[in-house]
Amino acid sequence: MLSKRNRIVIVTGGYGPERDCSLASGRVVASALAEKGYITSSYVANDWFLPGFPRIADLVFSTVRGRFGSGPLQDQLSRRGIPFSGSSAKTCQLVSDRKRVRNCLRKYGLPALVSGNGRRGATLPEGTIWNAVVLGNRVLPLIADGDGEPGENREREFVSMNETRLRRFALNAFRSVGGFGYGGVRILDSESDGPIVLDIDLAPSFAKGSYLQQALAAAGIQVYEYCERVLEHALLSIPRTLRLAG
C-alpha cells in the first residue's frame, strides 16, 4: 500500500529531443506529490548506469521518454529491486519498435497503423483521431485531436456508446503489448474501417494542455490523485499477464 513514508524518486531526463518534455513532466509530478506531503526527490538521468542514484528509494515515478525510457531505465531499476511506474523493460523495448507493435496488435485482431504517430510516413483514412489515457483497468474520457496536434482546447461531442467501444479498444491495445499501470493510446476512428491504433505511449506527457491533462480534467481527477494511483499500481505484485477486455 502506498504510504507517505515511502521515499519516492522522480526520474526525469534521458536523451534526445524528448528530454525537455521529460524534465517538464517530472516537475509537474514532483510538485503534485510534494504538495500532498509525500517524501520526494528528483533524479535527472544522464547515464544508462544511473550514477549517483539515491541509495534509499522505495518507489520510482519515471517520466523519461525516448530511447532511455524504452527499456534501459526499467531494466536498471528491476536489477536494483525498486518498484517503478508503468510497464516492464520488456514491454518498453517492444513498444519502441513499431513493426513489433504492429505485429503484436494484429496477433490479437486489433487493426494497427503504427507509423510516424499517424502524422508522417502514412496516408490515413478519413476519420477522427482520439487520444486515450489508460489508468489501470480504466480508460479516461477520450480527447479528440482536432487538427492533429495535441495540446489545444477542444470541444468533445461524442456518442456514449461509440466512446465506450473505443475505450475498450484502447484498453485492449494497451494490454496486448503488455502495457501495465498507465499509458496512452492514439486511435484513428476510421469512417471506412473502424478503429485503428496509431501509437502507444507508455509515458504520456504531463505538460499543461497535453491530452493527459485534458483527460484528467474531463474525468475530474487531480494530478496528484493520478500519480498516487500510478504508484499504487507500481506496488502491485500481481503478475503482469495479458487479459483483453470483453
DSSP codes joined into one string, the chain: ---TTSEEEEEEE-SGGGHHHHHHHHHHHHHHHHHTT-EEEEEEE-STT-TT--S--SEEEE---TTTTTTHHHHHHHHTT--BSS--HHHHHHHT-HHHHHHHHHHTT--B--SGGGTSSSPPPSEEEEEEEEETTEEPPPEE-TTT-TTS-------HHHHHHHHHHHHHHHHHTT--SEEEEEEEEETTTEEEEEEEESS---STT-HHHHHHHHHT--HHHHHHHHHHHHH--S--------
For position 178, what pLDDT does the model report?
A: 95
CATH 3.10.20.310 for domain 7-91? no
For position 193, what pLDDT does the model report?
A: 85
Terminal CA-CA length for the chain: 29
Lookup: cell for 139: 480508460
Lookup: cell for 5: 513514508
Q: Which residues of the chain have pLDDT under 50?
A: 116-119, 147-157, 238-243
For position 121, what pLDDT does the model report?
A: 53
Contacts of 39 (CB under 8 A, 6+ apart): 4, 5, 6, 7, 8
For position 154, what pLDDT does the model report?
A: 45
For residues 194 and 187, the answer to whether their CB atoms sit within 8 Å is no
Radius of gyration (C-alpha) of the chain in whole angstroms:
17
Contacts of 23 (CB under 8 A, 6+ apart): 12, 13, 44, 63
Calculate what percentage of the chain has a pLDDT beyond 90. 72
For residues 86 and 202, the answer to whether their CB atoms sit within 8 Å is yes
Q: Domain 97-235, what fold?
A: D-amino Acid Aminotransferase; Chain A, domain 1 (3.30.470)
For position 117, what pLDDT does the model report?
A: 45
Residues linked to residue 42 through DSSP beta bridges, in sequence order: 10
For position 115, what pLDDT does the model report?
A: 54
Residue 63 Cα distances to 66, 118, 179, 188, 191, angstroms: 10, 23, 15, 25, 34
- pTM for this entry: 0.87
Where are the domains positioned within the chain? 7-91, 97-235
Task: Summarize pLDDT for 116-153 with one digit per residue, the tens.
Answer: 444 455 577 888 999 999 999 999 999 998 544 444 44
Evaluate whether 7-91 and 97-235 have a shared fold.
Answer: no
For position 155, what pLDDT does the model report?
A: 44
Q: How many CA atoms, within 13 angstroms, populate the side-chain half-sphere of residue 245? A: 18
